[in-house]
Structure 1
Amino acid sequence: MKTNPGRFFEDYRIGEVIAHAVPRTVSGGERALYHALYPARGALYSSDEFARASGLPASPLDDLIAFHVVFGKTVPDISLNAVANLGYAEGRWLAPVYPGDTLRSESEVIGLKENSNGKSGVVYVRTTGRNQHGTPVLDYVRWVMVRKNRETAAPDPVVPKLQAVVSPEALVFPAGLDFSNYDFALAGEPHRWGDYAVGEKIDHVDGVTVEEAEHMLATRLWQNTAKVHFDATFREDGRRLIYGGHVISMARALSFNGLANAQMIVALNGGAHANPCFAGDTVRAWSEVLDKAETAAPGVGAIRLRLVAVKSGAAPFALRDEAGKYLPEVLLDLDYWALMPL
């Protein structure tokens, strides 16, 4: 048999390390398509001159481009037969990715837990993305619910203990980053690190309706082959599930209105795709400031943000019901650290 049906829950073993195909060289083409698919306009990722004024050699590719490329490599081995991608933790961006870099991914299986129905289970992996020099550019943990393909004895459950938050001391900053001479006019908003207060909530105002063709184009761009995103016969309801990363990028881009100076994502503390997103849904976003920290980089502060994506019509800043369950309008709940000028 020369074709690959993908892995099922019973095919994973604790400690297994999986080297993912296929390495990918990224270029300005990824940036152009990313900015066409999402309303992304962060100055650091749009202008070489702005990036050089911030101490970098040129404009890196958007932080979520690196995430999507690294993530996409893992799909054929980790989530081709997934029911749903459930969450993220302990993510850190370790080095900028520039046009011309070649990215590859590997994952270690760190947890397995069969579901009580015996038809699926949760697989936990730690994924690392590296460039052509072998330098890690990104690592994160994710867990995904994967179908079973045959009757097997349930493995002993192993659920990894994960940090709730990446500590500010563990954040990694690009060499040379300096916001001392940051140009707020060119960046698009005057609000700096000191203007935000812990507990503050920001309605990002704008919304974008997700289109079927656009979400499939985006998912193919990252070489994500998960069947639920393309094959309308794969789900019982006959609907294609929107790739969760598409929702992340849409919400992040929408957050520009109110957080234009949250220039770089440097850590992913946690995240959940709370409810499925489908074509025709209009995505809106709001943020909450969870924490702030000073850094050793000149002129740079770290800000911890909760980014929530919701369907249009959701109540302002509503997240969970009285029982603590996500409201049905909530699509994404993402906790991350970003870098912002002081």
Structure 2
Amino acid sequence: MKTNAGRFFEDYRLGERIVHAVPRTLSGGERALYHALYPARGALHSSDAFARSCGLPAAPVDDLIVFHTVFGKSVPDISLNAVANLGYAEGRWLRPVWPGDTLTAESEVIGLKQNSSGKTGVVWVRTTGRNQHGAPVLSFVRWVMVRRRAEGAAPETVVPDLADAVAASELVVPKELDFSNYDVALAGEPHRWADYAIGERIDHVDGVTVEEAEHMLATRLWQNTARVHFDAALREDGRRLVYGGHVISLARALSFNGLASAQAIVGLNGGVHANPCFSGDTVRAWSEVLDRAETAAPGVGALRLRLVAVKGDSGAFALKGEDGKYLPEVLLDLDYWVLVPR
């Protein structure tokens, strides 16, 4: 049999290393498509001239392009038969990716837990993306609920002990980055590191309605082959599930209004796709400042942010109900670190 039906829960082994197929060379084409799909306007990733004024040789590829590319490489081996992608942790962007770089990915299975139904289980993996020189560019942990091929004996349960957040001291700042001459007019907003207070919440005001063609194009662009995003017959309601990364990028782009100074993502502390998103939903976003940290790079500070995507009124700043569960309108709860000018 030459075709591949994908892995099921019983196919994973603790400690197993999986090399993912099909290296991907990134170009300006990915950047153009990314900016066509999302209202992304970060100056550092849009302009070579702006990037050079910040010490870099040119504009790097958008951080989430790197994430989507590496994530997409892992899908055929990790989540082709997934019921849901459950969460993220310990994500770090380790060096810039430039147009012309070729990315590969591999994952290590670090946790397994069969669900009580015996029909599904949760798989934890640590995925690492590398460039053509073998240097790591991105590392993150994610866990997914995967179908079993058939009911059977459960493996020993191993749930990895994951950090609540990436420590500020472990964030990797590009060695050339220098915000000493940061141009706030060209960046789009005057706000700097000291202007953001811990506990502050920002309504990003704008909204974007998800279109069927756009989310399908995005999923194909990142070579994400998960069946729930393509095959409407897999759901009783006949609707294709929007790739969670599409929601992440929409929310991140919407956050420009109020967080235009958040020029680079360097850490992913945690994330939950709280409820499904479908074509026709209008996505809005709000952010909360969770922490601030200094860095050794000239003129560069770090903010830890909560980014929440909702379908509904973003100005309500509502997240969970009295029962502690996410409200039905909440799509995404993402905890991440960004670099901003000081």
TM-score, with structure 2 as normaliser: 0.99
**Number of the residue aligned with 2:45:** 45
Deviation at 1:312, TM superposition (A): 2.0
Q: 2:317 aligns to what?
A: 317
Return the alpha-carbon distance in structure 1 between the equivalents of residues 294 and 188 of structure 2. Answer: 23
Aligned counterparts of 1:312 and 1:256: Cα–Cα separation in 2? 19
Match of residue 3 from structure 2: 3
What residue in structure 1 maps to residue 285 of structure 2?
Answer: 285
2:311 counterpart letter in structure 1: K
2:105 paired with 1:105: yes
Equivalent residues in 2 for 1:177-326, closer than 5 Å: 177-313=177-313, 316-326=316-326
* Aligned-CA RMSD value: 0.7
Equivalent residue, structure 2, for 1:82: 82
Q: Which runs of 4+ in 1 moved over 6 A?
A: none
- What amino acid maps onto 2:99 in structure 1? P
Q: Secondary structure at the match of 1:49?
A: helix
Give the Å deviation of 1:238.
Answer: 1.1
How much has 1:314 moved relative to structure 2? 5.8
Distance 1:166 1:83, change over 3 A: same
Deviations 1:294-340 (A, max 9, x none): 11000000000000000024661000001111000000000000000
1:258-312 Cα offsets, whole Å, 9 max, x none, are 0000000000000000000000000000000000001100000000000000002
Looking at structure 2, the residues matched to 122 and 153 of structure 1 have their Cα atoms a distance apart, in angstroms, of 15
TM-score, normalised to structure 1's length? 0.99
Counterparts of 1:41 and 1:313, CA distance in 2 = 23
Q: Amino acid of the residue matched to residue 212 of structure 1?
A: E
Q: How many residues align?
A: 342
Unaligned runs of 5+ in 2: none
Q: Offset of 1:151 from its aligned partner?
A: 2.2
Q: Shift in Å at residue 235 of structure 1?
A: 1.4
Q: How far has the Cα of 1:138 moved from its partner?
A: 0.1
Partner of 1:19: 19
Secondary structure class of the residue paired with 1:22: coil
Which residues in structure 2 correspond to 1:112-123 (within 5 Å)?
112-123=112-123
Q: Is the 8 A contact 2:209 2:281 kept in 1?
A: yes
SS of alignment partner, residue 103 of structure 1 = strand
The offset of 1:237, in angstroms, is 1.6
1:286 maps to a residue whose letter is W
Asked whether the equivalents of residues 242 and 276 of structure 2 are also in contact (C-alpha less than 8 Å), the reply is: yes
SS at match of 1:327: coil
CA contact 1:314–1:329 (8 Å) conserved in 2: no
State the alpha-carbon separation in 2 of the partners of residues 220 and 267 from structure 1. 25
Alignment of 1:118-197 (within 5 A): 118-197=118-197
Cα deviation, 1:146-181, whole Å, max 9, x if unaligned, reads 001112200111100000010000000112100000
1:47-85 CA distance string (max 9 Å, x none): 000000001010001000000000000000000000000
Give a deviation string over 1:211-248, Cα, whole Å, max 9, x none.
11100000000000000001000112211000000000
Tell whether the 8 Å contact from 1:309 to 1:330 is kept in structure 2 after alignment. Answer: yes
Which 5+ residue runs of structure 1 have no aligned equivalent? none
Instruction: Decide which moves more: 93-102 or 306-315.
Output: 306-315
Q: Residue type matched to 1:266 in 2?
A: V
- Farther off after superposition, 267-276 or 146-155: 146-155
- 8 Å CA contact 1:54, 1:178 repeated in 2: yes
Which residue identity lines up with residue 100 of structure 2 in the other structure? G
Quick one: structure 1 residues 329 and 16, their matched pair in 2 at CA, closer, same or farther if it must change by over 3 Å? same
Q: Is the CA contact (8 Å cut-off) linking 1:23 and 1:103 kept in structure 2?
A: yes
| Overall identity of the aligned pairs, in % | 80
